[in-house]
Structure 1
Amino acid sequence: MSRDAYQHVSKAPAPGAPLVFTFHGTGGDEHQFTGLVGQILPAAGIVSPRGDVSEHGANRFFRRKAEGVYDMEDLAVRTRKMTDFVRAHKQANPGVLLYGLGYSNGANILASVLFEAPDLFDRAVLMHPLIPWAPAPDPTLLGRDILVTAGRRDPICPLPFTETLVAHFEAKGANVELLLHDGGHEVRQPEIEAVTTFLTRKT
């Protein structure tokens, strides 16, 4: 396992603070959410990888064949790589709570890692995820806290897929919160407020 498997930015957490992993959307980079995390949790550590797949020059975390049609073999390989990357950083920070925050493609790789290795993250925020596959049904996310945010009119991540993902998480025993706004794929202020409340809540 390598802590340098991805180009990334990182900052060590202050004593007692969590370590937050951020995962950008398609076309973003490792800086997309570091400022937001710094505002919400100034003492937190940050690990923010850059997706190592290029789609016409846009950074992504795994390949797709078309909008909403994923290359599932590539997703499996990239999920294992990301899982190893996160676990390496976790082992380097023993006893520290791990939070994850992903948007769009970043939310999708985060969800896939949650299914693959439910022990890694203590809290996870998935903003506008699209998960067009069914995970294994075993209830392995018992007690994990997950926030899902989405737009009711999102043309990229249709609402029924979001609701199905929430059902998958609940079936696995996770504590799931869902926040919807009336817009599309854009991130709106109520989402930022919900993320702030979720990440700063005392355990």
Structure 2
Amino acid sequence: MTLDSYIHKVVPGTPGGPLLFVFHGTGGDENQLAALGRELSAEATIVAPRGDVAEFGAARFFRRTGEGVYDMDDLARASAKMAAFVKAHVAAARPSAVLGLGYSNGANILAATLFSAPTLFDGAVLMHPLIPFEPHIAGSLAGKRVLITAGRRDPICPPVLTSRLEAWLEASGAEVALEWHDGGHELRPNEIAAARRFLCASIEKGKQP
């Protein structure tokens, strides 16, 4: 069943309320961001899948052949599988809003799923994404809200690629906000605060008739 196509954790929220999917970074698991998801939204049901690829024992959502070099065939497989997983949970929960938050590798699978299924998420938080390829976005992102957070000295995700991703998303119609900090690949308080504001606004928008 696609509901269980990933090992995952569910933290219940308000019935009929928003669903917040959280996607861990390389080496994380379904527990890495579940508590953060609950901290960011008291009412959302949190769904936290574990990546199904192992890289020297570290869980990831898709394969790569080197640092910043993706196995594009496996990325396509992974984004299709994740879209089906999300759709199954949405069909079962009938939520007021469908939101995603990912960090590092989790931000990359969230972005790839957004590219392949633009209508799936109402809002997405991409924390330190690295998209080193020009995406093919299968439709329009008009009306979709995206927050990107990044470090100006991130050795893994160069700022120029972050800005390029912002431009691509805006060109596809998304409403994009970008939150920087002066550090590297680590999460800092200002981006956590920005994610909280973003998710709160997205949830309130979902309640509107």
Whether these two folds match at TM > 0.5 is: yes
Gaps of 5+ in 2: none
8 Å Cα contact 1:21/1:101 also seen in 2 = yes
Matching of residues 20-169 of structure 1 within 5 Å: 20-136=20-136, 140-169=140-169
Separation (CA, whole Å) in 2 of partners of 1:191 and 1:118: 24
How far off is 1:162 after superposition? 0.4
Separation (CA, whole Å) in 2 of partners of 1:23 and 1:40: 14
8 Å Cα contact 1:137/1:171 also seen in 2 = no
8 Å Cα contact 1:138/1:172 also seen in 2 = no
> What SS does structure 2 have at the residue aligned with 1:96?
coil
Separation (CA, whole Å) in 2 of partners of 1:22 and 1:83: 13
> What SS does structure 2 have at the residue aligned with 1:3?
helix
Percentage of matched positions with identical amino acids: 56
Separation (CA, whole Å) in 2 of partners of 1:138 and 1:9: 29
Residue range with higher mean Cα deviation, 86-95 or 47-56 = 86-95
> What SS does structure 1 have at the residue aligned with 2:17?
coil
Offset from partner CA, 1:46-87 (integer Å, 9 cap, x none): 110000100001010000000000000111111111111111
Count residues with an aligned counterpart. 203
Separation (CA, whole Å) in 2 of partners of 1:20 and 1:99: 5
User: TM-score, length-normalised on structure 1?
Assistant: 0.96
8 Å Cα contact 2:22/2:33 also seen in 1 = yes
What residue number does 1:13 align with? Answer: 13
Separation (CA, whole Å) in 1 of partners of 2:138 and 2:52: 30
> What SS does structure 1 have at the residue aligned with 2:93?
coil
8 Å Cα contact 1:132/1:161 also seen in 2 = yes
Separation (CA, whole Å) in 2 of partners of 1:160 and 1:189: 22
User: TM-score, length-normalised on structure 2?
Assistant: 0.94
Separation (CA, whole Å) in 1 of partners of 2:128 and 2:86: 22
> What SS does structure 2 have at the residue aligned with 1:25?
coil
Q: Please report the RMSD computed on the Cα atoms of aligned residues, expressed in angstroms.
A: 1.3
How far off is 1:42 after superposition? 1.5
Separation (CA, whole Å) in 2 of partners of 1:10 and 1:124: 18
How far off is 1:95 after superposition? 4.5
> What SS does structure 2 have at the residue aligned with 1:14?
coil
8 Å Cα contact 1:137/1:172 also seen in 2 = yes
- Decide which structure has greater helix share: 2
